[in-house]
Each structure stands twice: as C-alpha cells, then as structure tokens.
Structure 1
C-alpha cells in the first residue's frame, strides 16, 4: 500500500464510515475484542457517544486510518476504544485522535477523562501517559482472555497548547 505521511485530521465520523471502522478495529484487536459495524452502530446510538475518524492518504485517495470513540456523561468522559490501522501506526494518528477527543469532551462539559487499557499494551500505556493520563486503578480479569486492565484518568485541559502545539504536562 502506498501510504502518505502528510497531515492527519480527526473529523467526526458518519454512519457510512462504520464498515471501514470495523475493518480498522479488527486489524487492531484480538478476535475476542473486535467490534463489527453493527456493534459500532449500537454504541454510536447511545446518548453522549461521539466518534472521531483520522483520515490519511493511501493509494492516491483518502482512507479511514484510525478512530476514537468516547462517551460523555455529565462531567466525565470515557474513551471506549481507540484504533489505528497497522499500516498507519507511528505517524501521530493516535495523538491527533486524542487531541480531537479532548477538545470535543471539553466542549461537552467533561472535566475528567477515563479509559481502560491492557496492562501488557506497552505502546498504548506510553501514548496515554504522554497525553497526561495517570494510572488510577486496575480491573482484574477485565478482558475476555482474563487479562487485567489499567484504569487511567486525566483532567480535561486543552489537548495541545494553541501557540506551541506542545502536549500539556499534568
């Protein structure tokens, strides 16, 4: 696949994106953790759920390269999933999606963000720590394979400093 490394923009998703999102999710998670298009549609229909999509150039066209799904309830938001197509990893897409999500959650009145991540997912743990998340708990046997999840949280602040573009240190 001819993959361009140009700028990535996270945009709100449309229902027409669901098959592509399911493909990205399947490429990113173990079979017992994958969400298909109907599952994504069910989640998207829930109150307070938002979906952001990162688009990138591949083969001369714009393609879905990654996405993030977040649910906001009152003053708390939770990342339900974050997935980046393996062909587009290590190009800043996850950071772009996190930035979009933080700004969107702040706009919806969230004061605190939460997520669960596999304790053995070192790349995701590093990404979230770099984005200002701290470990706040552990869910034993959280995943279908019996593995634990690290619960992480951070306060909502602008995702990046508007002037410098730097990620905040919390």
Structure 2
C-alpha cells in the first residue's frame, strides 16, 4: 500500500495498515495524493468531515520531495474538496516545533486556537490550528 510506504518514510510509521485501510475506505473521509507511478506516493493529505467541520488527520510529504510545494498542493485540494462537501471550518494538530508545517499552515491562513499538552508520543505539545474555509482559505 502506497500510503503505508509514504507513512514510513515521512512520518516514521505513525499509522499501521489497518488505520490506513479505514482512512481510505470510510466515505466521510477525504484523501488527496500525488503519485509517481502506481505505487510511489510523494504526498498525501487526509481528513474527515463531521457535520460542517473538517478534521485534518494527516499531511505527509516524502522527505526526498519536500520544499517543492507538494504539501501545499495536496492540502489546498483537501480544503477545496471539504468545502465543496459542506465543511465550513478545518482543524488540525501540529507539533509546536514543526516549523515547516507551521509555515505551510500559516501561509494558507490557519491560526493557532489552542494547545494540547504532551499530545505526542515523545511528550511534545500539539498546537490546535483552525481555518474558516469560506473566508480564510488562501489559494495563491
């Protein structure tokens, strides 16, 4: 499974095969990816919609393809797809020291609305970020 391979490279094996199977088969979830060939995924962004909210569950880019705009591309498409499906607000969690991700999310209009202390396995805090899809989304 291409998502599992990308997960291992980009996220150090955050999710297992069962988790990816649920992510990809649930009709309430949206996944957007960029692939090179049939089994080589370079970037992916996924989320699930509950009522009018998109909870972004993962944004991953292969380390060999970072800083080429792929994360921005898949995340923007995820936001557009979610908005078309009725989502009005997006949320995500990001490690407070993930400066690359924070820069990407900030460039798209996300802002920090809270903190989850000790959220990650390594004890680091997560910042809760939010974006109003109808008013804040920056597509350029």
Cα distance per residue 1:15-35 (max 9 Å; x no partner): xxxx1111111111245xx11
In the alignment, is residue 125 of structure 1 matched against residue 102 of structure 2? yes
Shift of 1:120: 0.9
Scaled by the length of structure 2, what TM-score is found? 0.90
Scaled by the length of structure 1, what TM-score is found? 0.75
Counterparts of 1:68 and 1:145, CA distance in 2: 23
C-alpha contact (below 8 Å) 2:117/2:124 kept by paired residues: yes
Larger Rg: 1
Q: How many residues align?
A: 137
Question: Which range is displaced more, 61-70 or 92-101?
Answer: 61-70
In the alignment, is residue 20 of structure 1 matched against residue 2 of structure 2? yes
Matches for 1:1-170 after TM superposition, within 5 Å = 19-31=1-13, 34-56=14-36, 61=37, 63-157=40-134, 160=139, 166=140
Question: What do you get for the CA RMSD once the two structures are aligned?
Answer: 1.6
Q: Any idea what SS the aligned residue of 1:44 has?
A: helix
Q: Quote the residue 1:163 is aligned against.
A: none
Which runs of 4 or more aligned residues in structure 1 lie more than 4 Å from their structure 2 counterparts after TM superposition? Answer: none
Which consecutive unaligned segments of at least 5 residues does structure 2 have?
A: none
Which consecutive unaligned segments of at least 5 residues does structure 1 have?
A: 1-18, 161-165
Question: Which range is displaced more, 134-143 or 45-54?
Answer: 45-54
C-alpha contact (below 8 Å) 1:102/1:159 kept by paired residues: no
